[in-house]
Amino acid sequence: MEIKKNFIQEIEKIIGKDNIDYFLECCQKPLKKSIKININKIESNKFQEIIKEFGWRLTTPQIKVNGENYDNFYIDRDDTSLALGKTFFHLSGFFYIQEIAASIPAKLIDIKPGDKILDISAAPGGKTTQIGDYLLFQGQKPGFVVANDVNKKRAQSLAHNLNRMGIYNTGITSINGFSFGKNIPNSFDHVLVDAPCSGEGTSYKSDFSLKTWKKQEINKICGTQFQLLVSAAKALKIGGTLIYSTCTLNPYENELNVKKVLDFFEGDLVLEETNIQGKSEGITHIEGEKIFDESQASKLARFWPHVQETGGFFVAKIKKVKSKENKYNPKENKLTPQNPFKLNISEKLQKQVWDYLYQVFGIKEDREKYLFLSTTNQVYVTSPEYVDIKDKLNFEKIGTPIFKINSGRDRLRPLHGLGTILGDKATKNFVELNYELSQKIAFREDINKEEVNTDNLPEKGYIILRYQGYGISVGKILDGVIKNKYIKI
């Protein structure tokens, strides 16, 4: 691995020369594979019970938030010939492949039913799916997550992951993150700034950031991060929390930025305890200059390759206690809220979709958790809380597609998302698949009707596909074959 000398010198200032060799050695080690279970879909205990049969084992990491860890695990498998990301469990949204330290920021959010949360730099979506999962898991109001990424290409991967995981209580925007605070202030219960950063903590994946490290580039990145923090703080409601995280190690992008935003808002924001078991504390000085005292630094959280055996990571939790409405900076941009497509959320649409779901699949109406909206060619499901924010932002995508709209008798044609989100609620026209057939479906292959239990199945038409009661997709019976309607991966 090629590492710039000036980066080594910067890290030596923090950890000391005695630790630098071991630090550099650990930076080059691949991390142990870890996953985040989608607990609104399947309980952790149930998932662990199911996968034992296939020689999969989960172990709990030492890092815990508030002494708990119920959904993030290291994973070992006896047979790794099939990549973890190609298993039907992954492709059908049972889990997200996520590094342990990266799971921490979402866990620090004090989520309550119905919360509206902004993930200001969301792609590829690991933390967004995690936040949405926690909201849905509560079983009450599903809330709503605005997942933003200014890069529209990255937003496409974000959309794919939200669809795959069945996290329907979300909307994607693709706008400059500097815009939120000035144009929709005091709008969100919580904001996550998982900031674009120099990526020094990701050397276990690539040495690019360490072999190209330059102090002047760090200074530019710090400016972007600070602007995002200012915008996020203003977009936050009083009493809400701002979570700031990076996957980098230098103090300029981390502690110093936290200090700057606290000073900028002059008492409106206060540093909160992160309460993470197994963390390292923040840094108190940079080049001899004091940033925080020890009590403040202890509230911050750092993760080091040579200490926690994770990727390099930093997290801070900040609470908004007051608000100065006229406090802004000149780089804030103006939003132009206008949806690029016309959306229908009429009562007529709600009744039409619920009638279809009950008649075809026996799925009972539940308007507290689900809201349907349609464009000219698709029906999506999202959460009712979307209505509260729909006119404030320019959304690229809302919710998860569950029907394609066609002319003629078969006007609503079920899509993959219907199976993953509502499939477990079907009381008729569903079929339980074994592991082999579930994997076949995930590979986008058709299966013969004779391979499954045909009791109570129609001769033709759409059916829900399930594995041990959990929805994995939809299919269509035609000429004795269950035609595959799996999402394109």
339 and 394 Cβ atoms separated by less than 8 Å:
yes
pLDDT tens-digit series, residues 76-113: 999 999 999 999 999 999 999 999 999 999 999 999 99
Catalytic member of 26, 27, 222, 247:
247
Residue 189, SS3? Answer: strand
pLDDT of residue 407: 77
DSSP element (H, E) containing 36: strand 34-37
d(CA 215, CA 219): 6
DSSP state of 81: S
What does the pLDDT read at residue 341? 63
CA 364 – CA 346 distance, rounded (Å)? 19
Residue 448: how many other CB atoms lie within 10 Å: 10
* Phi then psi dihedrals of residue 270, to 5 deg: -130, 145
Query: Using the 8-state DSSP alphabet, how is residue 4 labeled?
Result: -
- Model pLDDT, residue 326: 59
Low-confidence stretches of the chain (pLDDT < 70) are 1, 324-341, 408-409, 488-489
Provide the residue type at 407 as one letter: S
What pLDDT score was predicted for residue 331? 62
A 10 A CB-CB count for 489 gives 12
Count Cα neighbours of 89 within 13 Å in the Cβ-side half-sphere.
20
Which contacts qualify for 112-115: CB closer than 8 Å, 24 or more apart?
Answer: 112/138, 112/189, 113/138, 113/140, 113/141, 113/142, 113/143, 114/140, 114/141, 114/142, 114/143, 114/385, 115/143, 115/189, 115/190
Do 13 and 287 meet the contact criterion of CB atoms below 8 Å apart? yes
In the annotation, is 197 catalytic? no
HSE-CB at 165 with a 13 A cutoff on CA atoms is 31
Per residue in 221-257, pLDDT (tens digit) is 999 999 999 999 999 999 999 999 999 999 999 999 9
Predicted TM-score (pTM) of the model is 0.95
Predicted confidence at residue 489, as pLDDT, reads 47
Measure CA 140 to chain center.
20
